[in-house]
Amino acid sequence: MDISLYQLAKASEPPTQPLIISPATLKSSIESSLEVLSRQKTAATLWVKLPAGEVWQSDIKHYQQQATGPQTIYICQNEPTLSAEWSSLSTDSSRILPLPLMADNQLKGEYFWLWLSANFIGVIVAQRAPSGGSTNKKLLMETVCAFDLPTVRRVLGGLKQAISDLPADVPEIDTWEELLSEVSPASETLFQVLIDQLQRQEEIRRPASKEKEPDEVAAVKSEKEEGETSIGLDEKFFYRVVQELRTPLTNMKTAMKLLESEQIKPAQRQRYLQLLHTECDRQNSLLTGFQELLQLADSTQQESFQPLKVSDIIPAIVSTYQPLAQEKGVFLGYTVPDRIPAVYCSETWLKQIAIALLHNSIKFTPERGKVSVWAREQGEYIELEFRDSGIGIPMGEIPKIFEPFYRVRTPTNEEVAGAGLGLTIVQQILQRCGGSVNVNSKQGMGSSFKVLLPVHQP
């Protein structure tokens, strides 16, 4: 039987208008759906057929690490058994199961992502967009997104018909109807939220000029990376800023839509309200960090350098953080001799460095841990050391921690809240005042950030 899940999803009532998007936007929309599923904290079932590549598998792996409820993930493919890479993702709470498809149908040229949970359902189906004779459109995809129960049921029914011989260890597909009967209609309110997000993402990803299609844009980017223009890196950074700012906004809008539901339970309401508070704080951190980076990049803004005694600044900052440390049950102390020479730096910058590193040390140190600040003379420099007994940083992650928007994960692979710009700003400041920063850390054993600042030469 020649089955097309794309056509089944497109034939909803009223008919769904396809979106022309890039694979990158398709991936981003899937990440958004996984983010919502992770916050549901309930059992979820997924049916997946995606392009080959580790980058898609990493999204599922990240979801498994974030989600708290049991999961069943069907990998739809032409083979009867899973590859070693997929099999390795199976855990006690997350089953990865093969779903072999018949070879002779239109699904061979389609990708899809279908999910069911008690509060959130949906399907994303994509096929290559017709090129119309132009090779420039070969990277684009026609995509249909639906978040209503009838469309999801119709697509799931089509998938049942496309299945080849079911492996012995895969549950009967008749159980899928039971999953559909447990879905709450409240999930349909997310439809317009994610559709709007998908359209906004593609508007930003697509070039402003209609004459430039994706492979032309790739060529332009390649030229910029080779140094033929001076703004390539800036464009990448600003694009990332837009992406980072959009995430908390999308999460807040999702939470507000869910709060409108009359069927929402008190515990769910409290969780969505907490999500709003968390994402507002994240948005504020992003804007503050971005503003500080712009100020550093502004060549017309000159900082006032002067001799500064660290003994006049560091103790005051440590005292400011004492209440936070006490509330968390973390011992906080400092050793800053008054006799050490002054450094030559901007007072604003020195405070920014100390606040960023001290804040991180306390944030990543558990109860009964210890954070200490030391100052000592090292030849022509003053060394400030921020040492903690916290979760530490994996060796392979240390080179990444100064990259913009990078956020360290906890031992449970939970991403810590924040903008991911604090260490980037610290490094940028030190480059401008002739200093440097060095990191020593071991996972589970704490971290030590050592900052060198030039001594004032009268």
Greatest Cα-to-Cα distance within the chain, rounded to the nearest angstrom = 86
The confidence score (pLDDT) of residue 218 equals: 37
Distance CA 194, CA 201 (A): 10
Give the tens place of pLDDT for each residue, 197-213: 555 544 544 444 344 43
Give the DSSP letter of residue 415. Answer: B
Residue 224 to residues 122, 228, 233, 240: CA-CA distances in angstroms?
Answer: 39, 5, 8, 17
The confidence score (pLDDT) of residue 53 equals: 63
Distance CA 16, CA 5 (A): 13
Residue type, 216: E
Long-range contact set of residues 392-397: C-beta below 8 Å, sequence gap at least 24: 392/441, 392/442, 392/443, 392/444, 392/445, 392/446, 392/447, 393/439, 393/441, 393/443, 393/447, 394/443, 395/442, 395/443
The confidence score (pLDDT) of residue 170 equals: 73
Name which CATH class applies to 5-185: alpha beta
pTM assigned to the model: 0.47
The confidence score (pLDDT) of residue 375 equals: 93
The confidence score (pLDDT) of residue 34 equals: 78
CB 66 within 8 A of CB 38: yes
Domain 207-299, CATH 3.20.20.70 — does that match?
no
Residue type, 347: E
Torsion 261-265-270-275 (CA) sign: negative
DSSP track, 248-266: HHHHHHHHHHHHT-TT--H
The confidence score (pLDDT) of residue 246 equals: 67
Ranges of residues in the chain with a pLDDT under 50 are 132-138, 185-193, 196, 201-202, 204-233, 299-300, 412-415
The confidence score (pLDDT) of residue 299 equals: 44
The confidence score (pLDDT) of residue 403 equals: 76
Residue 245: φ, ψ to 5°: -70, -30
Domain residue ranges in the chain: 5-185, 207-299, 305-454
The confidence score (pLDDT) of residue 232 equals: 33
The CATH number for 305-454, chosen from 3.30.565.10, 3.40.50.300, 2.40.30.10, 3.30.750.210, is: 3.30.565.10
337 SS3 class = coil
E strand intervals along 129-263 = 141-146
